[in-house]
Structure 1
Amino acid sequence: MTIDEAQTRFESTAGESGDDVNDESLRLRVVEAVDVSDCVRGFRLAAEDGTALPAWEPGSHLDLVLPSGLIRQYSLCGDPADGSAYEIAVLREPESRGGSIELHASVQVGDVLVARDRRNHFELRPAPSYLFVAGGVGITPILPMIRAAADQGATWRLVYGGRSRSSMAFVERVTGFGAESVDIVAHDERGLPDLAAEVAATNPDALIYACGPEGLLRALEDVCAEAGRSSSLHFERFGASSEPVEAGDNTSFEVVLERTGTTVHVTEDVTILEAVRGVLPDAPASCEEGFCGTCETRVLGGVPEHRDSVLSDEEREANETMMICVGRSCTPRLILDL
């Protein structure tokens, strides 16, 4: 897939801009590519035409189209006040679905990539204090949160775990925000972080933000539940949080593609995304497990059944968008902005 083909793909599936789904495409030139640990590579991406990039908030990520045509999501980890470039960091994962290896091996300074403009389902809410918990490359969305907390005068603490210090990205950067507020927990030196002790020592009015492997997030969920702090916890997952719903639990329904002027029938054994791709073959998606947000689509009518790991409880209740790779319908007909 060429860069122009990738941009056409995004534009052909884009809707009106909104707070939850922003489908503007950007052409970004790689202006820096540097190793930030022994397994994480950092990239700075500037607008190809040299103009200032759209503003973003901590917790935002980009849907990035790789040269192969793969779409992958990367958290923005730089300074939101820096409009000259976006910064991402990518873990090299040999067992991944190919995106990380491609970025590490093939993408170089000077290359141009297409990205969908930033999305944010991991917003930093105002609070007097914060506990940040990061595991491995999960430090990336936490970095701008720490900067924002410090700028706002909030108290904060970071617990940052990883396999080894050499594998952990941005250690110098996070300690530069305030070494006294940072605890680096390398597994080969100290084992696992004591999450129960950290939560117990956190102010009752503090919010807890976490990103990292599923094991870390599940453990933190359990600790917060036992401490009565579940409402304080906000996190972003790398993968699906549960097993997919079996086809036997599904029912069939119709989906109206409002802009396309077509109605598709979604049977018990296919997803909405699969049915939609019969009409729109290039409908964007990445994980197809409900955790990345690439396939997020506006709901114009009907009641969706949410099965994703992206939307908050409030967003689910609003029923304004859904992830069509895993979501289904509670009503016989669903109308989507496609």
Structure 2
Amino acid sequence: MATTSARLLRLLSLLQSGDAWTGPALAEALRVSDRTVRRDVDALRNLGYAVDVSRGPGGRYRLGPGPRLPPLVFDEEQAIAVAVALQAAPRSIIGLDAAAARALETLLQVLPPRLGQQVAGLTITSVVNLWDLAPPPVDAVVLRDVSTAIHRTETLRYTIGSAAASPASTVEPHHLVSWAGRWCLLGWNPTGRRWQALRLDLLTLRTPNGPRFDRRMIPGGDVAAYFTTLFDRGDNLDHWPCQGSAVVDQPAELIARFAPGGTRVQPLGPTSSRVTMGAWSWNGIASLLGSFDAVVRDAEPAALREACRELAARYR
């Protein structure tokens, strides 16, 4: 029979799976008696774990939230996933560097030597290109406040940028979306009566929040699928040295699905759209426009039209 400490860790691992366990099922998994299970559950509670139990026939045990954060137990795959996440998160979220480094150090200290070497070897280096598509990282406070508003179904008041004098806009926040290196908020615009995406790194939140709202269903029910169909994802093209637009004879829904990050799409009809995008060169924009496999016309500005002619001659 396993020692008491090893058995408690095994019990904790079972409860952390998120499933509700009957006493007999736990007893069978641990190879102990029902009485030992009840005693071990009490021991976990004394250590700070909130183990809930439904009384009566068929009573079940479930791990719930407690008043404080107790120690956690990870299996090998979870430990590797946590190590990767701790290194990746500070690249996109401001304010987590020190906390993430401390958490990773704590994790490495308690891992078995073999697994510790694997996790320590997962060193991630973030390389930023001169014209990187990735936006500035998001402030952890903004991420927390938006997430809290989503949970509480509270309307957010915001401005784009740091212009404190600008009147605040409102949005009913529904989902946080990570797309193409960007943190976005998918919400309902109560003024425009439409769904919209907002870049979190461009938001300045106003306090207090607005009134509560009734949660809406995302069209089609699939957040990821719907997000890719949006014509405007709140992107900012100002970091590109070249910015241009053209009419492309393709439906806006198709272009929005496959366009690179930073593209704006304006529907002009069922089979044509005006596409605005940026790149490090005018030839770069011309090449991207050509990737939509359709007629490209009415390009602006003149430098983009010249780039289209130059590429056409080069390809000939």
What's the TM-score, normalizing by structure 1? 0.22
Structure 1 or 2: larger helix share?
2
What's the TM-score, normalizing by structure 2? 0.23
Higher RCO, Cα 8 Å, sep 6+: 1
Larger Rg computed on CA atoms: 2
